[in-house]
Amino acid sequence: MDMRDFCEIVRNSVSTIEVGKALGLNVDMHNRCSCPFHNGRDRNMRLYDGNRGFYCFVCHKSGDCISLVKGVTECSYADAARWISETFRLGLEDELEQRRQKPSIWQRSGRARIRKAVYGRRRHEAEHHEQAAEGNRQSADG
C-alpha cells in the first residue's frame, strides 16, 4: 500500500468529528468548535460527519480530517495520517511499513541512477583536478 492509498483509507475510516475530539477540540452538540487556525473564541468552525471534513466560517479554512490534524499539530500530511491511524487503532501502519521496506524496481533503479550520477560526477571532478594540477606543474616547469 502506498501513502496515497493509506491516506484514502484513513480519511474514509474516521469521522472528522471524532478526530476533532481526539485533538482536544471542544465540539458541541451541533458539531461546532472554536477554530484552532485563527484562535477564535466563538464556535466558528463546523466539523462534518463522516469524511466530509471541516470548515471555518471566519478564516475559511477547510479540509479533511488529515488536514485538520496537520494544521493543529503542525506536522506533515503523512505524519497526520499516521497519527490518526495509530490513535484510532486502524492497524494500517504494518501494511505501510511492509510496503516501505521492499522498494519497487523503479525505486531501486532510481537509486542506482543517482549513485551512478554522483559517482560519475566525482570521477569527472577528480579528472578535472588532475588535469588542472598537471597544467600548473607544466607551467611552473616551463
What confidence tens digit (pLDDT) does each residue in 60-117 have? 999 999 999 999 998 999 889 988 988 898 887 766 666 555 555 544 555 455 545 4
Q: Which CATH number characterizes residue 46's domain?
A: 3.90.580.10
- Do 86 and 130 belong to one domain? no
pLDDT at position 41: 87
Q: What angle do CA 10, 13, 15 make, to 5 degrees?
A: 105
Which cell numbers hold the place of 45? Answer: 468552525
- Do 9 and 77 belong to one domain? yes
- Do 34 and 68 belong to one domain? yes
Each residue's pLDDT tens digit, 24-38: 999 999 999 999 999
- Do 50 and 91 belong to one domain? yes
pLDDT at position 106: 45
Residue with cell 488529515: 66
- Do 57 and 127 belong to one domain? no
- Do 75 and 128 belong to one domain? no
pLDDT at position 98: 60
Residue 141 belongs to domain spanning: 103-142
**Mean pLDDT over all residues of the chain?**
81
- Do 90 and 121 belong to one domain? no
- Do 83 and 32 belong to one domain? yes
Q: What angle do CA 42, 47, 53 make, to 5 degrees?
A: 135
